[in-house]
Amino acid sequence: MILARVSGSIIAAVRADGIDGPGYRIVEPCSPSGITGKSTGIVVLDLVGAAPDEFVLVSQGSSTRQTDVTKDKPVDAVIIGIVDIVEEEGEVVFRK
């Protein structure tokens, strides 16, 4: 899993993924305290309704197709949770 911050949304009027409803977001992998690197963003299917700047948990690869929504669909990355608190070495480094 990847800890990431939502940095944007993608609107696609025409989609061939066979999924009704959930939209796509752009996320940037980040450190537990929220620092993002200069990496390229990742396009992910948002199953939980994440908002801009929220910390999220992202799953990639074949495990993304194990939800009711994504089963047997052409999806490679999905947001599976919104983070409320991050604790690192006994110290809270992020709180929603």
- Do the beta carbons of residue 5 and residue 25 sit within 8 Å? no
CA 50 – CA 56 distance, rounded (Å) = 7
**Beta carbons within 10 angstroms of residue 87's beta carbon:** 11
Q: Which residue has the higher pLDDT, 65 or 39?
A: 65
* Residue recorded with tokens 């752009």: 26
| Residue 24, SS3 per DSSP | strand
Q: 12-52, pLDDT tens digit by residue?
A: 888 888 888 789 999 999 888 777 776 779 999 999 999 99
State the greatest distance between any 2 C-alpha atoms of the chain, in Å, as a whole number: 46
CA 2 – CA 81 distance, rounded (Å) = 11
Domains of the chain by range and CATH? 2-11+21-95 (2.40.50.220)
pTM of the model: 0.86
Give the pLDDT score at 79. 96
Rg (CA), the chain: 14
